Amino acid sequence: MSAKVMNGTEMAKEIRAEAAEGVAEMRDKHGIVPGLAVVLVGDDPASKVYVRNKDRAATEAGMVSESIVLPDSTTQDEVLSVVRRLNGDARIHAILVQLPLPDHIDEDAVIESINPDKDVDGLHPFNMGLLMAGLPRFIPATPEGIQQMLLRSGFDPEGKHVVVCGRSNIVGKPVANLLMQRSAGSNATVTVCHTRTKNLADITRQADILIAAIGQPRFITADMVKDGVVVIDVGINQIEAPERKRGYRLVGDVDYDAVSEKAAAITPVPGGVGPMTIAMLLLNTLKAARYFMHPHLRKLGG
């Protein structure tokens, strides 16, 4: 079998166009332009690229976009005061602090300082709790992007065995919670594996849908999946590639070529989950602006 390639770039383009339409309508009908602020601390090259892409995407969708780039030497109090300023800025409906933060900054304290109504990353404990309770308000962008990729590719998770490899707050935990919800587009049976899981391959081989969010290049090999599996590869790893001008190339957490031979469908890296994350961030920003205009919608999850 040769896998169907789930093209995240194409799907993200459609979603970004939907976001742009929503922005135009809000601006024309209500005179409100959704605003996104992204805060980057330090000079991690990958994070810089992500932040630049988010800024560009928000601007292209017609949003107000503010990127705040702070040096590595920034103190925790300084970061907290930037977040406080953004919490009180009426032009900004959505705040994202790019992770990871430098070691001297307490990530939890920063996330908890974000006004939950502007927490489009869905990482504030309040929003994580709502997701867990089955009342999601802001679903983290990568998990929601994964769900959209599955649905838009015709792979409804309902009744399927989804195996998630990875238990991070950004991907593993929320995607497991999301796909096990009692709601359309979810209703999966979910198993979460992690670094201490015994007999990992025995479990991954049971997956109808396998989500790899491990952070190790080509960790999932062909012998770890069953024929016909649907594979979502969240990993973005740099590996040395002397033949390339920049000296490296990007690979996922899945051994793409070999696993493609067995899978029914697979996401590429790059061009899979990554672009979807940005597209869902734009939809969450639009949602935050809608909630700002109509607070009663928040309760309805509208």
Contacts to ligand GUN by CB under 6 A: 96-99, 121, 141-142, 170, 277
Residue 82 carries which side chain, given as an amino acid letter? V
Which single residue is written with the structure tokens 């899981």? 197
Give the nearest distance from C-beta 11 to ligand GUN in angstroms.
Answer: 17
First CA to last CA distance, the chain? 40
Give the nearest distance from C-beta 47 to ligand GUN in angstroms.
Answer: 7
Give the nearest distance from C-beta 277 to ligand GUN in angstroms.
Answer: 6
245 as an active site residue: the answer is no
90: its two tokens = 């009426």
Report the alpha-carbon distance of residue 245 to residue 222 in Å, rounded. 30
43 as an active site residue: the answer is no
Q: Which residue, 208 or 233, is less far from ligand GUN as judged by CB?
A: 233
Selected catalytic residue, list 55, 98, 117, 147: 98
Report the alpha-carbon distance of residue 98 to residue 123 in Å, rounded. 11
Q: Which residue, 3 or 171, is less far from ligand GUN as judged by CB?
A: 171
Selected catalytic residue, list 55, 117, 119, 121: 121
Report the alpha-carbon distance of residue 15 to residue 141 in Å, rounded. 13
Half-sphere exposure of 266 (CA within 13 A, CB side): 29
Q: Which residue, 188 or 276, is less far from ligand GUN as judged by CB?
A: 276
Q: Which residue, 171 or 263, is less far from ligand GUN as judged by CB?
A: 171
Report the alpha-carbon distance of residue 110 to residue 279 in Å, rounded. 24
77 as an active site residue: the answer is no
Catalytic positions, please? 54, 98, 121
